[in-house]
Chain A
Amino acid sequence: MKGLIGKKLGMTQVYDKNGTLNPVTVIEAGPCKVTALRTAEKDGYSAIQIAYGTRKIKNVTKAVRGHVKAAGLEDTPPQFIREVRLDEDPTAAVGETLTAGIFADSEYVDVVGISKGKGFQGVVKRHHFAGGLASHGGGWIRRGGSNGMKARPGRVIKGHRMAGHMGVDRVTVQNLQVVQVRNEENLIFIRGSVPGPIGATVMVCAARKK
């Protein structure tokens, strides 16, 4: 297991060597510095903590600057710090730099991002309700129907699907294929779409279920 934090640059199409056209999302992944290690013995689980981007020193607390000091990022504090869970204890050292080259062509990855905000949405878009008939005297087109029973239980059951805010959720897309890696430009081409708008921060990890 391995992972990188990156930025979604947008989508395009690339031809592979057989001439097949692939829709790809281009992600500028890394370089990320390892800021901490988690081991099963000490922390109860295995992970590496990686940092990406930069912030102004005046915008960062001293605690954060102190935390990333071991990785040599005291004067260029990172914008994002995330942990990537590993199956075994990490072999990387604190301060090591991870680049897009840790992924290879045709490898499978999971991508975690924050989905685009959709605002307040009805049940048809938000929960895929069918809605009513458009014709034959419909008159009940995109509504949710009954919210539940009457006197017993006399309330709406928790978790009942209704209209409300949609989007801006943490979304993971699993088993996307890497089409191309350009290590010197820090670019990863991933087949298909990934959550979030252009410019959004995403995390690319090795696929869990492959």
Chain B
Amino acid sequence: PDMIQKCWWLAFLMHVFIIGFQALDCDFLNVNLNRVIRKNMKLLRNVSHSFPIECLREIKDFELPQEILSHSQMEKRDIKEAWYEISTQAFCIFMGHAFQTTWEETHLTQIQNGLYEQVAYLEQCLMEDIHETKEEEMKYSGTGRFLLNNLELRKYFYRMNNFLEDKKYSYCAREIVRVEITRCFSYFYRFTAFLRRR
């Protein structure tokens, strides 16, 4: 029994060690990231309570690249990179001058701050990954590294940017883009939650 007790003790210490290790990993920051994303989705929805009827006619399909999630075996890092792409692009759109005049200033700064927080978290996590994988860096250093998935996401935001420009940042165009970005966030949020459960 003494021997068994010793083994239990070791297993217990291992457990403690693993918990401690995870805590320092970027995974732990995910808890926080999820919270920030949820908060931002809420903020985006709350800008206006209903979608203006007069804008219905202008609604455009931006072709959210859903297939990049369904077909590929996404790894943790890919998901983080996809989130990073989405977050920075959304952040850039809401930093546009046209949005300054539309929304109540406090609301806009809340969204901008929230998105910045989201971007900063992801940036930190991804940079940590980069430091961990120095060898990989060598491999990509010549051409740069950019996932094709993110290229699809970028095209999606490119279509949104073009739409805004074509419509000269009209009220309806901004509303449509806001709803689209909220939709994109919630789609990816649900998908990431699904992946985590799997």
Chain A partners chain B: no
Q: What residues of chain B have their CB less than 8 Å away from a CB belonging to chain A?
A: none
Q: What residues of chain A have their CB less than 8 Å away from a CB belonging to chain B?
A: none
